[in-house]
Amino acid sequence: MGLSSRVSDLGPFELLATIAATGSIGACARHHGLSQPAVSARIRSLEQRLGLRLLDRHPRGTTLTETGQMVLQWARPALDATAGLDQALNALIGASPAHLMLAASTTIAEFFLPTWFAALRNRLPGTNVSLLCHNSADTVALIRRGGAELGFAEVGHISAELEHCPVVRDRLVVVVAPDHPWAAREAITAADLATAPLILREPGSATRSVLHDRLSALPDPLTAVPAMELTSATAIKNAAAGGLGPAVLSELTVRDELANHTLVEVPIPSLTLERNLHACWRRHHRFSAPARHLLDIATAHTDPRTELHR
């Protein structure tokens, strides 16, 4: 029994997956080296074949309808199987294994990419991956120079000349040693934080930039002047736990320390320290298969904390 005409061509389903990842028909078109009208036409043709509406178009982009999300979920195993078949055939004929060059900020590199790499290996078993780990500013600079195909960084650092889409929602927290005076307080103010001898990441890091931006955006702008600058989250955690001062870090990086009470989170209600971490790439870049699948994997999980425990 042959395939029905509705599913015999998987190309439009692949376009649908890219639209879901990038939130834009234009970005999808650039991704696949097609014109925007061509992408729209192929999706409309798919909708007509299926008798379903798959996309919602908005002034700021395009999203999948609930039906479109269901169709994509059902199509993913077929897309993965096709990618695996292509990879196996390449191996059979002696083609060189695919290679993916990435750049990422430290939070994503340490807490997300290992899980995403495992998922990518399941889809494309022969893929080789190289990762360059930098702060967000250096990651974006590397993508702009063409030194990596795909990057992951804090959105505030991403220049307008790059395409990007969100992959991780994160929150920064203020932490201190259990015997620090703040550990017994119900909350501190933004002024308390700005005048404290803080332990922070180096300039150019997403953590440092978010803190600076949020303090400077207050009705009475503030500036934090660190007493200590370190380039490693581990070093900062150890310094804070050793009583050298308060630190501001990603919640993801201090989960274990908060659980075992070697560090204590100090609430700061007057300051919102959530941030978005995005994938970014050069405009008009046509992704390799590994990059396309990794982007799909990264954007498929809306709750990074759940993903960490899978």
Of 13, 11, 10, 17, give the one whose Cα is nearest residue 293.
17
Confidence of residue 302 (pLDDT cuts 50, 70, 90): very low
Q: Tell me the pLDDT of the chain averaged across its residues.
A: 85
Q: Is the pLDDT of residue 205 over 80?
A: yes
Top-confidence range, 102-111, 193-202, 203-212, 230-239: 193-202
Q: Which residues touch 271 (CB under 8 Å, ≥6 apart)?
A: 190, 193, 214, 215, 218
Range of weakest confidence among 81-90, 110-119, 265-274: 81-90
Q: Looking at residue 48, what is its pLDDT?
A: 92
Confidence of residue 308 (pLDDT cuts 50, 70, 90): very low
β-partners of residue 173 are 249
Q: Is 183 within 8 Å of 264 (Cβ atoms)?
A: yes
Give the residue ranges of DSSP H helices in 93-154.
106-111, 113-123, 136-145
Confidence of residue 187 (pLDDT cuts 50, 70, 90): very high
Range of weakest confidence among 4-18, 110-124, 160-174, 205-219: 4-18
Place of tokens 């999808």: 28
Confidence of residue 310 (pLDDT cuts 50, 70, 90): very low
Q: Is 161 within 8 Å of 237 (Cβ atoms)?
A: no
Identical fold between 1-95 and 169-275: no
Average pLDDT over residues 176-195: 96
Query: In this predicted model, what pLDDT tens digit does every residue of 56-76 receive, in sequence order?
Result: 988 777 888 989 988 988 887
Percent of the chain residues past pLDDT 70, beyond the cut: 90
The CATH architecture that domain 169-275 belongs to is 3-Layer(aba) Sandwich (3.40)
Note the Cα 116 to chain centre separation in Å: 10
β-partners of residue 277 are 154, 168
Looking at residue 3, the DSSP 8-state letter turns out to be: P
Each domain of the chain, given as residue ranges in start order, spans: 1-95, 169-275
Q: Is the pLDDT of residue 143 over 80?
A: yes
Q: Is 135 within 8 Å of 105 (Cβ atoms)?
A: yes
Note the Cα 232 to chain centre separation in Å: 20
Of 273, 199, 256, give the one whose Cα is nearest residue 232.
199
d(CA 127, CA 117): 10
Q: Looking at residue 220, what is its pLDDT?
A: 92
Q: Is the pLDDT of residue 260 over 80?
A: yes
Confidence of residue 89 (pLDDT cuts 50, 70, 90): low
d(CA 67, CA 51): 11
Q: Is 171 within 8 Å of 276 (Cβ atoms)?
A: no
Coil, strand or helix at 301: coil
Average pLDDT over residues 299-308: 50
Average pLDDT over residues 131-149: 86
Between 151 and 81, residue with greater pLDDT:
151
Give the residue ranges of DSSP H helices in 170-283.
190-194, 206-216, 233-241, 255-259
CATH class of 1-95: mainly alpha
Average pLDDT over residues 3-25: 79
Average pLDDT over residues 68-95: 73
Query: In this predicted model, what pLDDT tens digit does every residue of 228-258 receive, in sequence order?
Result: 998 788 889 999 999 999 999 999 889 999 9
